[in-house]
Homo-oligomer: A and B are copies of this chain.
Amino acid sequence: MIEGHIYKSFDKELKELKEKLLYEGSLVERAIRDAIKALLERDSSLAEKVISDDDVVNAKEVEIDEFCLKLLALRQPAARDLRFITTAIKINYDLERIGDMAVNVCERVLELNQEPQLKPYIDLPKMAETVQLMVKESLDAFVKEDVELAWKVTRDDEIVDHLHDQIFRELLTYMMQDFKAVSRATRLLFISKYLERIADHAVNIAELVIFMVEGKIVRHLKTPEENK
């Protein structure tokens, strides 16, 4: 009975771990959304809020790391649970980096808000929406151990790559036409790059999920076309 009791409590702790990661995920999703809102509405105080709120994400990362280590030390879990916890440590790392990227976006927004807007933004919000969904779905895939959804996330990365290249080309045209556009175009380019990296982190998470569930190394299964 005591053994049964321990297992039940461990399950509860694993559930708690999932919830903690989901909560961290919701924080970084909001950070992405607010960062783009700050860009579109030229809202510097919102940008500053995202920057200062990143402390919460960072504290969460440390808390989750410690929680994982506690589980490992006290529970000495078996193979499958071990893999789950290592995956959680890595996902935690990716999420914290996503938070950093949202902060980076906001720093560029604060700079951009010192000058008039260069152009209407069309592709950047589209890109932000896609990466936000990728982050959300990669975490859903983790929690539900849903491999199909994880594969979808890896495929969506192509949309983001494509938008990034399109944005790069367009901004380059602005830069070539008008020297005064260079600093603003460069900052927008950085924002596009940060979003692209968020997508990379979502893909990392998705690949971790596939590896965790199927025990396979993902990139060896991809077609060359997907494997970019």
Residues of A within 8 A of B (CB): 58, 65-66, 69, 72-73, 76, 82, 85-86, 89-90, 93, 97, 100, 103-104, 107, 111, 168-169, 172, 190, 197, 200, 204, 217, 219, 224, 227-228
Contact = CB atoms under 8 A, between A and B. Distances in A.
A92 to B, nearest CB: 9
A227 B169 CA distance: 24
Contacts of A200: 197
B227 A97 contact: no
Contacts of A204: 97
Contact of A69 (B82, B107, B172, B190): B82
Given A93-B93, A169-B172, A86 B104 contact: no
A193 to B, nearest CB: 8
Nearest to A74: B76
A107 B197 contact: no
Contact of A103 (B111, B169, B172, B219): B219
Shortest beta-carbon contacts, A-B, top 7: A72-B72, A73-B76, A90-B93, A58-B217, A65-B86, A89-B89, A107-B224
Given A89-B90, A93-B93, A97-B204, 9 more contacts: A58-B217, A69-B82, A73-B73, A73-B76, A90-B93, A104-B227, A104-B228, A172-B172, A197-B200
Contacts of A66: 82
14 contacts: A58-B217, A66-B82, A69-B72, A69-B86, A72-B73, A89-B90, A90-B90, A93-B93, A97-B204, A100-B219, A104-B228, A111-B224, A168-B168, A169-B172
